Chain A
């Protein structure tokens, strides 16, 4: 699927999705992060891990919703997957437009010019460099792609909360898991 058709598809799906108030959404996420921060006693590594895990749990479930409602054809390359993810899926769930930048056949970046999670957010100095506020996206992407047999590493490269001009999420493909019977069941 090309970038433009993926984007058009995303727009159509976004129009069909039930909407939640954007401010309520941002505030709810903020409250969730505060809860995690409180639970972790200020251990930033643990906070980031927790938020990523929350995202993972969301990802493994919401991928089915995407597949059920979007009717996209099977992607033939990882590049195609990146377009569907950035242009269609992000638009469908978040209403946000994001740019997809290919680094190589196995790696790409999603660049978000608008981030629905970070309205109203300012990080205090003690967390500014370390807390990855929107790492939940990384978890969602990792979970969703894992359900489709892609093992990926997903990192936040840039964040507007840290003074960058855009949000950038980098996705690296580690391996493609095999479906079907395991090696033990294959005849020599």
Chain B
């Protein structure tokens, strides 16, 4: 099961958050804002802590930061785009094994560029309130969930990711 999706803009403001299934814990909007900016800061610290520096970029660290956090009850995967937006998804560990969450995030990124950025009323860096985007994510998640159910019933349990997108 997928749990939550949130998107943080390049200055650390939360621009989108939503539960992806019934199982997701209930978190209030204020808490979400806090989670968004805390994650942004931790990401920045992780980047600075990296010993690998980009060539010609003496002060800033390599652009990896936090890519994945694994815990007993959930896995978190973060995709930071070259323009500084972070797409973060959390899911139950078995889902993270079955699907490449990074690929799901890349698809959500495409949805963001197609639905939110092309909406003339959407202002950059501002919260995404865009029906098309919400619907697109909904469809994507449903599609992926149905693929997981299908594959777990037919294939034996293995550590390889069984669902390939596209």
Contacts and interface: CB of A to CB of B under 8 A. Distances in A.
A180 B113 contact: no
B55 interface: yes
A-B complex: 4 closest residue pairs judged by Cβ atoms: A180-B60, A65-B113, A68-B109, A61-B117
Given A180-B48, A181-B48, A64 B83 contact: yes
B52 interface: no
Contacts of B27: none
Given A60-B124, A61-B124, A68-B112, A74 B82 contact: yes
The number of chain A residues touching the other chain, given as a range, is 20 to 34
29 contacts: A61-B113, A63-B83, A64-B81, A64-B85, A64-B109, A64-B113, A65-B117, A67-B83, A67-B109, A68-B81, A68-B106, A68-B109, A68-B113, A69-B110, A69-B113, A76-B55, A147-B82, A147-B83, A148-B83, A176-B57, A178-B59, A178-B60, A179-B57, A179-B84, A180-B47, A180-B48, A180-B59, A181-B59, A186-B59
A60 B10 CA distance: 13
Nearest to B55: A76
A67 B63 CA distance: 15
Nearest to A65: B113
The number of chain B residues touching the other chain, given as a range, is 20 to 34
Contacts of B51: none
Interface of B: 44, 47-48, 55-57, 59-61, 63, 81-85, 106, 109-110, 112-114, 117-118, 124
Nearest to A67: B82
A76 B63 CA distance: 13
A64 B117 contact: yes
Interface in A32-84: 60-65, 67-69, 74, 76
Interface residues of chain A: helix, strand, loop or mixed (majority): helix
Contact of B44 (A60, A147, A181): A181
A105 B60 CA distance: 22
Task: Determine which residue in B48, B56, B60, B82 has the highest number of CB atoms from chain A within 10 A of its CB, and name it.
Answer: B82
Contacts of B83: 63-64, 67, 147-148
Interface of A: 60-65, 67-69, 74, 76, 147-148, 176, 178-181, 183, 186
Given A178-B59, A178-B60, A180-B44, A67 B81 contact: yes
A147 B59 CA distance: 19
Nearest to B122: A61
B156 to A, nearest CB: 32
Given A65-B113, A180-B60, 13 more contacts: A61-B117, A63-B83, A64-B109, A64-B113, A65-B117, A65-B118, A69-B110, A76-B55, A148-B83, A176-B56, A179-B57, A179-B63, A180-B59
Contacts of B82: 67, 74, 147-148
B60 A68 contact: no
Task: Determine which residue in A64, A74, A176, A181 has the highest number of CB atoms from chain B within 10 A of its CB, and name it.
Answer: A64
Nearest to A176: B56
A77 B82 CA distance: 15
B55 to A, nearest CB: 7
A38 B114 CA distance: 31
A127 B124 CA distance: 34
A176 B60 CA distance: 12
